Amino acid sequence: MLLYLYRSFWEKNVEIKVITSRQNATVVWASSLKEKKYREKHAAFLAEGVKLVKEAFTSRLPVTHVFISEDKKTDILEELAPLFEGFEPAPEIVVLSSPCFEKISTEKAPQGVIAAIKYLDFFKRIDKINSVDLSPHALYLSSVRDPSNLGAIIRSAAAFGVEEIVLSADSADVYHPKTLRAAMGTLFRISVLIVSDELAFLEAQRAKGRRFFAAELRENAIPLSSLSLRDGDVFVIGNEGHGISPAVSSACCGSVYIPIAAGVESLNASVAASVLLWEQYKKRGEADGV
**pLDDT tens profile 209-219:** 999 999 998 88
Q: In whole angstroms, give the CA distance from residue 53 to residue 77.
A: 12
Q: What's the pLDDT score for residue 154?
A: 97
**Going by C-beta distance under 8 Å and a sequence separation of 6 or more, which residues neighbour residue 286?**
none
Q: What's the pLDDT score for residue 281?
A: 95
Q: What's the pLDDT score for residue 240?
A: 86
The single-letter code of the amino acid at 92 is E
Q: In whole angstroms, give the CA distance from residue 56 to residue 47.
A: 8
- Cis link prior to 89 (omega < 30° from 0)? yes
Q: What's the pLDDT score for residue 112?
A: 96
pTM: 0.89
Phi, psi of 100 (to 5 degrees): -65, -45
Residue 105's nearest CA partner among 118, 114, 96 is 114
Percent helix / strand / coil, the chain, rounded to 5: 40, 20, 35
Q: Which of the residues in the chain have pLDDT under 70? A: 1-15, 286-290
Q: What's the pLDDT score for residue 1?
A: 39
> Could you read off the pLDDT of 9-45 as tens digits, one per residue?
544 555 689 999 999 999 999 999 999 999 999 999 9
Q: What's the pLDDT score for residue 206?
A: 96
Q: What's the pLDDT score for residue 15?
A: 66
Helical spans, DSSP H, in the chain: 2-11, 25-32, 36-42, 50-58, 73-80, 98-104, 147-159, 177-183, 198-207, 246-251, 269-287
Domains of the chain (ranges, CATH numbers): 2-118 (3.30.1330.30), 123-287 (3.40.1280.10)
Rg (CA), the chain: 22
Q: What's the pLDDT score for residue 179?
A: 97
Q: What's the pLDDT score for residue 130?
A: 72
Asked if 86 and 95 touch (Cβ cutoff 8 Å), the reply is: no
